[in-house]
């Protein structure tokens, strides 16, 4: 059993070294428990820490400068805040559970002549947000009006003076530039706007820019108005609006497919924007289309989507290609539904939106490309569960219960690939037994089987995995029981999973010869187990056993997926 203790050693210059003593003896006494307790409570907050030293059995193993491990703190997290009163906006901020570092309210608009139109700024609201330790960085917007945007870019000296003065007067923490729908002809002026703001607004206050997602590398139109490379020279960061892949007035489809979002990040990196200056924008909204074409891409908050699904019996599918959910529902003549001020008539509708799975996959890109952080449009539109996992995924922690698990990396990879999900927004439950329903769902996802409703079992109607179970059964990977049931919550044994994986990968390896002492040739699963063991997919235990009847855990399943050959 590993035991440890800590001690703070003060140096002559007033700094401290944190010494961590490690001992593996069973009778090791935690002589430094008091210091450890104080350390955990944040006792270091007011101390200058110089080195962390690791001592094992009385010997100094290594010493590392604290700066090397403290340099990377929590990733940047911001939220635009547009809807609701000051009181409701403060509630939105509280619901975010201390995740946010910055909020961007709608304080700065443009008049028709391009001058600054300052909206009402509540000093008490700003103070209340500051009291929470959150910075207030209002956004400057032309609300898609090209004329006012162009006029603003033709009076840069006056506009930047007005903004800098307002930032100082109201004790704001900077400005986020969100001028949209100007064109490539204003490209240089746009960059000059940001340069002047950086010059006039004090260092330490934020100057950032919301830029159009540009996965296709367009150089004209409003996409061409953003010189990513030069903007990044002056701005603290670029907020990539990696959404509206499908938009109001356009054809139906995902608002932000994973491929669209990732290519948008790659475009920025390829245009010499440092990863440390990229903030990934995530939509807290979806878009609605009517089958008859009467409604095209109407915006709807994702918290409203959940209500619509519940009330009108919406059917939700998750696109394996887009990595986005889609809800389909039907309104009858007796139904009454108004969305964003538009009354919807009877007919069939579909909504492409975001849920916990799609948001997590986008947040995982922040870690993949080591970006500065993530933001969203906009606070108050999300479902409440978003904040249960947002900070974990933004900071690459993913699940609270996998940090010390042997399959941690495999679990993270399985989730990123969409093959497995957590048992909740914050837990994966790696030591829980894998059920038949979960196994069927994993097989369906790995092999990209089309969800089906053609094969029914007596006990899967309405089950969360009904369609995936049917798809896996139709493909011949699962059978039901003589009584017509599937028993979806029955746990999978290690040999049952071996049989399933053998059929899934269709390996040419034929099991032969003894591999495990408890898997004899006459056992029904002998060939599958020995073949997969010889292929390096299955492992046994240190005592040369396989324990075929033992329940397979979710963590073990993730480890097995990592060893499968490319499909």
Checking DSSP bridges between strand 116-118 and strand 135-136, what pairing results, if any?
unpaired
What residues contact residue 559 under an 8 Å CB cut-off, 6+ apart?
406, 407, 410
Instruction: Tell me if residue 180 is catalytic.
Output: yes
- Residue of 87, 146, 85, 137 whose CA lies nearest to 114: 146
Q: Helix 408-416 and helix 356-368: axis angle, to 10°? A: 120
φ, ψ at 228 (rounded to 5°): -50, -50
- Tell which residue, 544, 483, 554, 499, has the closest CA to residue 518: 544
Nearest to residue 463, comparing CAs of 448, 475, 451? 451
Under 8 Å between Cβ of 136 and 124 = no
Pairing of strands 315-319, 3-10: unpaired
Candidates 180, 206, 468, 556; catalytic one: 180
Nearest 5°: the CA angle 82, 85, 89 is: 65
The distance in angstroms from the start CA to the end CA of the chain is: 41
**What whole-number distance in Å separates Cα of residue 493 and Cα of residue 56?**
40
Residue 475 burial (CB count, 10 A): 18
Q: Can you say how many angstroms the Cα of residue 96 is from the centroid of all Cα atoms in its chain?
A: 15
Partners of 3 in the beta sheet? 23
- Token readout for 38 is 């104080």
In whole angstroms, give the CA distance from residue 360 to residue 355. 8
Name the strand (E) or helix (H) holding 414. helix 408-416
Which DSSP letter does residue 435 get?
B
- Strands 108-110, 139-141: pairing is parallel
Active site residues: 180
């Amino acid at each position: 059993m590993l035991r440890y203790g800590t001690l703070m050693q003060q140096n002559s210059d007033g700094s401290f070294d944190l010494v961590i003593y490690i001992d593996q003896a069973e009778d090791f006494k935690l002589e430094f428990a008091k210091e450890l307790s104080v350390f955990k409570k944040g006792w270091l907050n007011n101390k200058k820490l110089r080195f962390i030293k690791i001592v094992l059995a009385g010997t100094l193993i290594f010493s590392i400068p604290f700066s090397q491990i403290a340099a990377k703190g929590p990733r940047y997290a911001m939220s635009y805040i547009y809807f609701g009163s000051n009181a409701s906006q403060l509630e939105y901020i509280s619901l975010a559970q201390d995740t946010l570092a910055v909020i961007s309210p709608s304080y700065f608009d443009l008049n028709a002549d391009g001058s600054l139109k300052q909206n009402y700024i509540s000093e008490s609201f700003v103070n209340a947000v500051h009291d929470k330790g959150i910075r207030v960085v209002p956004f400057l917007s032309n609300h898609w009006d090209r004329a006012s945007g162009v006029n603003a870019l033709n009076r840069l000296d006056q506009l930047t003076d007005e903004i800098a003065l307002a930032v100082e007067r109201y004790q704001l923490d900077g400005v986020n530039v969100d001028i949209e729908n100007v064109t490539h002809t204003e490209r240089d002026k746009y960059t000059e706007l940001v340069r002047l703001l950086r010059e006039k607004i004090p260092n330490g206050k934020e100057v950032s820019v919301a830029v159009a997602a540009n996965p296709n590398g367009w150089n004209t139109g409003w996409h061409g108005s953003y010189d990513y490379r030069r903007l990044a020279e002056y701005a603290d960061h670029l907020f990539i609006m990696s959404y509206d892949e499908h938009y109001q007035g356009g054809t139906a489809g995902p608002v932000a497919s994973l491929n669209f979002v990732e290519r948008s990040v790659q475009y920025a990196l390829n245009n010499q924007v440092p990863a440390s200056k990229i903030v990934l924008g995530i939509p807290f909204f979806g878009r609605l289309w009517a089958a008859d074409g009467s409604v095209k891409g109407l915006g709807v908050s994702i918290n409203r989507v959940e209500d619509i699904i519940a009330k009108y019996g919406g059917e939700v599918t998750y696109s394996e290609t887009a990595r986005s959910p889609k809800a389909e529902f039907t309104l009858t003549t007796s139904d009454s539904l108004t969305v964003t001020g538009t009354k919807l008539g009877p007919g069939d509708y579909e909504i492409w939106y975001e849920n916990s799975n799609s948001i997590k996959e986008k947040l995982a890109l922040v870690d993949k490309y080591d970006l500065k952080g993530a933001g969203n449009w906009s606070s108050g539109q999300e479902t409440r569960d978003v904040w249960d996992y947002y900070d974990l995924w933004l900071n690459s922690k993913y699940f609270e219960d996998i940090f010390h698990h042997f399959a941690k990396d495999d679990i993270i990879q399985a989730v990123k690939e969409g093959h497995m999900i957590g048992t909740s927004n914050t837990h994966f439950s790696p030591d829980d037994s894998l059920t038949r329903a979960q196994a069927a769902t994993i097989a369906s996802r790995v092999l990209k089987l089309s969800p089906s409703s053609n094969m029914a079992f007596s006990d899967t109607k309405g089950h969360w995995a009904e369609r995936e179970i049917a798809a896996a059964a139709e493909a011949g990977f699962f059978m039901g029981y003589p009584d017509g049931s599937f028993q979806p919550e029955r746990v999978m044994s290690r040999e049952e999973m071996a049989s399933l994986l053998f059929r899934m990968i269709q390996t040419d390896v034929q099991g032969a010869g003894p591999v495990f002492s408890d898997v004899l040739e006459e056992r029904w699963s002998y060939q599958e187990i020995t073949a997969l063991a010889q292929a390096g997919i299955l492992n046994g235990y240190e005592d040369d056993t396989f324990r075929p009847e033992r329940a397979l855990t979710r963590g073990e399943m993730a480890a097995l997926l990592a060893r499968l050959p490319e499909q």
